[in-house]
Structures are given as C-alpha cells and as structure tokens.
Amino acid sequence: MAKTPLLSFALVFAAGFGFGFMYHHIASLAHEAIASESGDSLLPRLRSVEARLAVLEASKATAILPVLANGGAATTQRLDRAATAMSIAAGTDDGVEARLLQRKLGATSSKHRASSSSSPSKTKSLWFFVPPGVKGGEEVTVQGPSGSMVVTVPEGKVAGDKFEIVLRDSGGCPPGRKPYHIVLTAQDNLYQAWQTRIMYYHFQKLQRADPCSEMTGFTRLLSSPDGGRDAMSDEIPTVHAKMLSPGTGCQSTGENTCDMGFPVMNRPHAVTQFLAQLPASLTEEYVLIAETDHLFLKEPRNLATPTKPVCFPFGYMNAKAPELRPLVAKWAEDPDVVDPCGPSPILIHLPQLRKLTPEWLALSFKLKRDEEADKVFGWVLEMWGYTIAASRLGIRHLVWNDFQTEPSSLWHSTLDGDPHIYHYTFGLEYTLDGLPVTGVGDWSLDKRHFMGQYPPRHLDAPPKCAGRAAATLTAMFNEASAAIGDWPEDTAPHGTLGWANVNGPSAVNHAPALATEEAYQHSKLAKAVVARGAWQWAGKTPVLFFRSGRIYTPWGSGTWSIVGDAHHDAHHEAISVALGDACATWHLTFSKDVRTFTATRGKPWKPHTTKGTLAKPHANDASLPPEPERADGWETRHDQSAIAKRLIGSGPWAWQAVAPLAFLPNGRLFTPWGRGVWWPHDEQPNVIQCNFVGQKHVVTFDECWSFTSVREKDGDQATGTAKIEPPPKECKELQPGSSSDDEAEERVNT
C-alpha cells in the first residue's frame, strides 16, 4: 500500500473515532430528554438534539474533506448529504450557526465539483431578463452569486430579452482574498435615505471596478416603527428590523423594549434581528458595519481574522483618560484593554459578531440606566456599550487609523494619511476666499442642511483655497446625484451657498462686510483702523481689524463694515461691528485722529455706550518706533512688493495655532508674544523675514492661507495658517454697569 493512501486511511479512521464519540454523547442527551421531559417541552429538546446532530454531520464532512480531496463523486455525495442535514437544523432555535455553515457547505461543494472536473473554468456565465422599462446601454441591479451587483444591459436589448453576463471566477483572484458583506444600519427617514443612495452608488462603483473586490455583498439594515418595507426596499437589498418603542417607558421596568429616549439604541437592537434572519445573499464569513454618512474613498482591505475584528480609533473613546478611567473601570475589569472603538466602522467575523451582540445590547441598556454613565458617556454611550462588551468577552481589535477619516474645515481638511472611508459627520465651512471658519460658512457643505429635503443635484464647488476634503465630498455628492435617475427635483433651497444668511445676520460670524477690495481702498477710515494695529475696547485687548470685514476681539471673532460716506474724511464715516447673538451689533464712531472711539448699541432712546482706544505698546516693545513710523528693515520699495500687498491687513493669522498674528503697514508685526518687525525677502517673492521676541525667522507662504517658518538661530521649524476664532459666547466687559467699561472710559478721557 502506498504511503499517502495509508496516511489518509489513518486520518479518516481517527476522525471517525472522534466523531463517533460525539455522536454517542448527543444520543445520550436525546435519551435523557425522553426520560425527563414530556408533552410540549419534549419537542424543543428533541429538535435541539436534531440540530446538533446535523451540525456534527456537516462538521464531519468539512473536517475530512482535505483527506478525501481525490474522492470524486463520493466526496460530492458526502457534502450534499451534509448540506441536506443542515437544512433540517436551519429551522431550529440552534440553527443560526447551521444556516451559515449550510451556505459554506454549498460553496465548498460547488468548489469541489469544479476542482473535480477535467478542465477547471475561470469564468462563469449568468443569464438575466431585461426588466420592464429598461433598454440596452442602461444599468440594472441584479442578484449575483455573492450578493447584489450592477450590470449594463447589452445594446439592442429591450424589456423581456435574455442577456448573458460572464463573471471571472474567484480562482483568478490574488491569494488570501477574504470577501465581506457590508451591513449598512439605517433608519426610516428622508435624511438617511438620500445618504444611503449616495453611499450605495459609490459602493457599486468600486465593486464594478474590481472583479476581485473583497466587498462582495451589501445589505441595508433598515429600522422602522413597524419593521416594514419602504420605497427603497426594491432599489437596495434590505433587511427590515422593528424599532424599539420611542421614549423612556421601560426605564424603570428593567425590560429592554424602549429606546430610553436615545434612538441610537436601535443599532444593537437591529443587528440582533439581522443575525436572526440572515439574508440569502449573505454568503461571506465577514461583515463590515457601516453608517449612512460613510463614503468609500477606496476599498478597505479585510484585515480582520476570526478572532480579531478591525476598528477605527475615536479620540474621545480613550478608556485610559483620567476623566474616563474610573467610570470605565466600574464596567470593565481592566480599562487598559478597552479599545478606543465603536461599532461602526468595524470589520468582523460573523460568528464573533453573533457572540458579541447580546452583550453589546444588554450593556448599552445598563449604561443608559446608570446615572453617572449616562451623564459622562453622553451621545457615545452605545459606542461604549460595544467596546466594553468586547473587552468583557476578551475580544481585542486591530485598531486601524486609516480605516476612515472625519474631516472638517479645521482638521483633516487635506485628507491626510491614506483613508478608506470618508465619514462626513462634520460640516465643511469656508469663507468665499477659502478661510476655514467656525459656524456656518459662506460656502457650506453640512449634511444637517438637508434634514428634510434632498441636496440639489449640482453643488457649487468650494473656494480654491478650501481643503481637499471639501472638493472630494462635493465631487462625490455631485457624481452620485447625477447618476441616480430619479433624484428628486424638489430639493433644498440652497446647495453649498446661501446657508450663512438663512437665519438672519445674527447667525453669521464671519460674513465679509467689505464686499470688495475697491471698497476698502476708497475708505479712509477702513484703511486707518486696519493700519493702526491693536486696539483696546472696554479695557480688553487686542482688538484687530482685518481686510474683508473680519475682526478679532478678546471675546471671539466677528465682522465689521463701513457705514456713512466712504468718499469723505474718516470722521464722516463710522464702523458697524457684529459680534453674534451673545454680544450684539455695535456702532463705532472714531475721533478725528483715529486714536479713540465710542461704541454704542441698543435703541436710540436708551443706548449703551463703551469706549475704546489704541492699545499701548507692550512693555517689552519700548525700543520699537512709535506707530505709524517705519520699522527697522522696511524700505520704501517694499511698499510695492507683491507679498506686502498680499499680507498687509490680511488675516487673522495664527502661529503654531496661537492667534492673533497681524502683518501691519511699514513692517510692523503684531504677535501674541509682543510686537515685532517684518520685511519682504529680496530674492524670493513669497518669502518674508521677521523678528520678534529677539529671534529672527524666515517665513515662506503658499498660494493660499498657510506658511512655514525656519528660525535663523537653530533651524527650528514652525507652521501657521489663517484662523478665524469662534464667535463670542459672552462679553461681560461690554455689558451695562461693567467696572471694566468705567475704567476704560477713564483711561480714554485721561
């Protein structure tokens, strides 16, 4: 007897002996059930035993498959019998695992048949009928062997015609490929409906581009009050889940039947229902749980294993943080092994998700009922429920920084790194010249603008100097809405322009009141208040006026504009300063020499007045020339340089994120650390040299709103950007009766 057949015989004999022992154990359970149970309670026990026998039969078939690889028809028959046994188990309470194994056996059996044939094929033909209303050249969604896919109907075909699609067999794909199924959790509302359609479009686009894509399936997990279908159920593969009862009706009952006033609780509740009714299209062993405001920039690689899921690290989910650690320790044995993850996005082995979900759901309810946890964890409580549940079960994640990115106009605006998913949870807000702002921008792309209506089909492009994230998100929105044939015509009244003024001027904290450079050049007062430098208002400093109608104050950012006749002397003009809802709008009138001002607000018959003046030089600046004389290093020729014309009055700027930094005329420089001097570089048009706090720097500007600096002494590098601070939340010095206001008036009078 040859060596290999002998070894195969030994392995089969050993496997048979082991499985025989397990059969004996299960049979004993059946005998025990018959002896101890009767009536209605006996049938479920026997079905459970039957399911275990079926799973054992299937496991036996898969275990000896490698040994019987050359068994031909006999092996195929074994697999078919195992699959039949699994169909018995799939309908029982213990049949959830059986259903997944049944699908795996079906795939294994098909693969074995293919490998047993004399000439393995690398392609597969699928036949479909053209649906009603569709003609050649148009795309349709069909169900393929691994889930839904989009195909193009051949030219010349009409409704009812049969057409063939040839698929490349997975055998031609790179080794190590691990297909996964995307599960998109969604709620039944218009807001998430349009997000879902955009997300699904870009999923299909990536899937079509790569025949060997690991993203092989897609299911929308839709939560609705009645668990019923919606208008998109035929457009996108959908599993329906019934939502928890809204409100806090179960708060004190201990029953997990309401959402506790926290609708996110429906996520683990829906996943629980999903696992109990896995769709027939789900043949993958892994799933990626996603949200409606996720967009695929590129296909995420499946880095998960059967024992380690993949997650994205959230900065606010740090269990080791001093303010969180004591509370996390109350619920987890060791906060050091609680990963900084939430339940989306995650890539996870399906059996592991099934193991984790009951604990995730139960713990989320326990945290919500705990007063301290509810207060501290807040809107991310259910995320803590997930990651603490994972740690309790000994599950650690592969934490992947590039899994996704969450840009805003203030961070990650350049899509730094190599992100795979764009999570557009934060709005993108810019001025029309590309400065990032806090609040609603003149150019604004925020999903919350479209709570009740679809976004318009064509969104205006972001300003040139806005970050790459803004251009990317706008393009992805526009591409999807243009490609989706029934995108509504009745959309929101604004796209990316016009939102700043929706709620009136008080909603705007940065609107450029000086609409044009020409307006600035024609106003003597405008040029004077910018050129003078730092001002003091109600005893607080610095107050800095910048071109384009921006103002920096100790309380926050605002806007300013010229009122009056801009073609007369400065004392015939006045300035209006808007400091948002918290600090109101002020009317500033200046002295003839533009060194003091009076600020007034309120009704004409009952005004409130405060005073302002030019700020005194910093104590360390006594050696600097008095304003507005030229600083050392500044020459007359510098007035006409391109960099000087660009920088003077622009801003506000920040050095290493510290503001304000202002480039004033005649080479004067205002910094948070004291005044300094600056002058254009003689040879490089986009470079300046500056000196402050006794240190010289060479500063290089890009074409937008950023710069890099090198310190002359040691080569130390720094960076800077234009930065508009948030609007004021309070300004007690400007309120009636403020002692600071009285002191300021006394200083002005002196």
Name the token pair of 14: 């050993």
pLDDT at residue 405, as a whole number: 97
The tens digit of pLDDT for each residue in 624-663 reads 344 456 777 788 899 899 999 999 999 999 998 899 999 9
Rounded to an integer, what distance in angstroms lies between the CA atom of residue 238 and that of residue 241?
A: 10
Would you state the CATH architecture of domain 620-722? Beta Barrel (2.40)
Percent of the chain with pLDDT over 90: 58
The H-or-E segment that residue 193 falls in is helix 190-209
DSSP conformational letter for 117: S
DSSP conformational letter for 497: B
Only one residue has tokens 């600096």, namely 709
**3-state class (DSSP) for residue 153:** coil
Rounded to an integer, what distance in angstroms lies between the CA atom of residue 291 and that of residue 196?
A: 8
| Contact between residue 724 and residue 437 where contact means Cβ atoms under 8 Å apart | yes
**3-state class (DSSP) for residue 639:** helix
* Dihedral-angle region of residue 242 (phi above 0 means left; psi in -120 to 50 means alpha; beta otherwise): beta
| Contact between residue 221 and residue 185 where contact means Cβ atoms under 8 Å apart | yes
The tens digit of pLDDT for each residue in 218-236 reads 999 999 999 999 999 999 9
Higher-confidence residue: 144 or 22?
144
pLDDT at residue 590, as a whole number: 95
Only one residue has tokens 């500033």, namely 588
Rounded to an integer, what distance in angstroms lies between the CA atom of residue 497 and that of residue 449?
A: 11
Domain coordinates in residue numbering, the chain: 3-116, 123-172, 215-291+314-403, 421-501, 505-614, 620-722
Rounded to an integer, what distance in angstroms lies between the CA atom of residue 748 and that of residue 750?
A: 5
The tens digit of pLDDT for each residue in 263-283 reads 999 999 999 999 999 999 999
* 196: pLDDT strictly greater than 50: yes
The H-or-E segment that residue 16 falls in is helix 3-36
Rounded to an integer, what distance in angstroms lies between the CA atom of residue 736 and that of residue 731?
A: 11
Strand arrangement, sheet containing 421-423: 294-296, 421-423, 404-405
Which pLDDT band holds residue 716 (cuts at 50, 70, 90)? very high
What global pTM score does this model have?
0.71
**3-state class (DSSP) for residue 660:** strand
Rounded to an integer, what distance in angstroms lies between the CA atom of residue 106 and that of residue 376?
A: 48
| Contact between residue 341 and residue 317 where contact means Cβ atoms under 8 Å apart | yes
Residue at 32: amino acid letter: E
Percent of the chain with pLDDT over 70: 75
pLDDT at residue 128, as a whole number: 86
Which pLDDT band holds residue 512 (cuts at 50, 70, 90)? very low
Per-residue exposure over 102-111, b if at least 16 CB sit within 10 Å of its own CB, e if not: bbbbbebbee
pLDDT at residue 101, as a whole number: 52
The tens digit of pLDDT for each residue in 100-118 reads 555 554 444 444 333 333 3
Which pLDDT band holds residue 145 (cuts at 50, 70, 90)? low
Q: What is the DSSP string of 233-285?
A: TTTS-EEEEEPPBSSSTTTTT----B-TT-GGGHHHHHHHHHHHS--TT---S
* 600: pLDDT strictly greater than 70: yes
